[in-house]
């Protein structure tokens, strides 16, 4: 096996790993949707606050996927918009427009 073969193998492994990480983003979206469905049953201010807290835990992980080049800038910002839309929908279901974050 020559150096070129080793490089080619490394590239294939890296491409495979990036694809696995991209699939991980889809799994994170599914998890966020499950959380949303659970909090939707409560549909009050506390549910919104708890959902936002959960999203605060996920964001650094997805940001890391972006920093590693596993997802594109567009994919990262689409994920953020996806989360924002769910928060807005939950707030609408709870009948609230704003949340007092002073004690957060």
Taking only the tens of pLDDT, the chain with its 104 residues reads: 555 554 556 778 878 877 887 899 999 999 999 999 999 999 999 999 999 999 999 999 999 999 989 899 999 999 999 999 999 999 999 999 887 776 66
The pair of three-digit structure tokens given for residue 77, joined into one six-digit string: 């910002």
Collapsing DSSP to helix, strand or coil, 79 comes out as helix
- The pLDDT assigned to 22 comes to 82
Which helix (H) or strand (E) element contains residue 10? helix 3-42
pTM: 0.82
Contact 29, 82 (CB under 8 A): yes
Do 65 and 20 meet the contact criterion of CB atoms below 8 Å apart?
Answer: no
Using an 8 Å Cβ cutoff, are 47 and 90 in contact? Answer: yes
**Nearest CA to 86 among 37, 46, 13?**
37
Domain range list for the chain: 3-94
Say what the pLDDT of residue 81 is. 98
């Amino acid at each position: 096996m020559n150096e070129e073969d080793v490089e080619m193998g490394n590239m294939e492994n890296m491409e495979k790993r990036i694809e696995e990480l991209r699939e991980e983003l889809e799994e994170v979206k599914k998890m966020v949707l499950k959380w949303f469905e659970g909090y939707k049953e409560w549909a009050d201010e506390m549910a919104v606050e708890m959902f936002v807290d959960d999203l605060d835990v996920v964001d650094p992980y997805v940001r890391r996927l972006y920093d590693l080049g596993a997802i594109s800038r567009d994919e990262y910002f689409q994920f953020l918009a996806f989360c924002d839309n769910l928060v807005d929908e939950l707030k609408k279901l709870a009948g609230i427009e704003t949340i007092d974050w002073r004690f957060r």
